[in-house]
Amino acid sequence: MGMSVSEKISAIERPVKIGFYGPLIAIICIIVAIILSPGFDWFVNALSDLGHYTRTDLGPYKLVGAIVFNSGLIITGLLMLYYAIWFLRGTTDTITKIGVIPLIISLLFLISIGIFSENFGELHYWVSVGFFFTFPISMWLVGIGWFRFKNLRWFCIASLIIPFISVFMWADYLNGTSIWQQAIPEIVTAFSAIVWLWIINLLYHKGKLTGILPLREAT
């Protein structure tokens, strides 16, 4: 008889499980924070407004929503930092190591966004800029580095193109020509980063990265 679904999940390496489940925590916490902030408007607010502890214009449960939002970013950042370091230590490819370094830096910025909420003013602004600036760099470096693997070229092309969507949206917003506020380019950038990490994790799990990260026994 074949393995059950629970047995298959149990057989997956711990870091791979973390790579799949880690981003879900941030997604769930953002959704809960939005539910607790009925005044939140995608075309008016920034996502970081959900993490502001003291503002009262978004709803009566703002403090709870802010705790949920910021905690989600911190927990996800820590889990994915563990995953990224595991990937860095396990890869046998020097070019990949170079590409993972800005990913690690971006995850440190993500943790900092949760710690230094919007209440911290300019400090919060700069750690947010750091996150949204460094993640595309990692995508580009990995995309360029993996292009030499024929079976990964579709992923490489996506890794090179997708960040430009975020760059365009941010440029449009900063130029004052967009119809949206920060929340739209923020969620597009964050979601593309999550999907990108999920695909890398899936490629490894399916044995498609053997020249980059050799498969190991589950721990």
pLDDT in tens, 132-188: 889 999 999 999 999 999 999 999 999 999 998 888 887 777 777 776 677 888 888
SS3 content of the chain, % helix, strand, coil (to 5): 75, 0, 25
Report residue 6's pLDDT band, with 50, 70 and 90 as the boundaries. Answer: low
Sign of CA dihedral 196, 199, 201, 203: negative
Among the listed residues 218, 207, 200, the one whose alpha carbon sits nearest the alpha carbon of residue 87: 200
Tokens of 35: 């539910």
Q: Where are the domains of the chain?
A: 5-205
What percent of the chain stands above pLDDT 90?
A: 63
Burial class (CB in 10 A: 0-12, 13-18, 19+), 61: middle
Mean pLDDT value across residues 84-108:
95
Tokens of 41: 């408007």
d(CA 136, CA 166) in angstroms, rounded, equals 9
Among the listed residues 188, 168, 52, the one whose alpha carbon sits nearest the alpha carbon of residue 120: 52
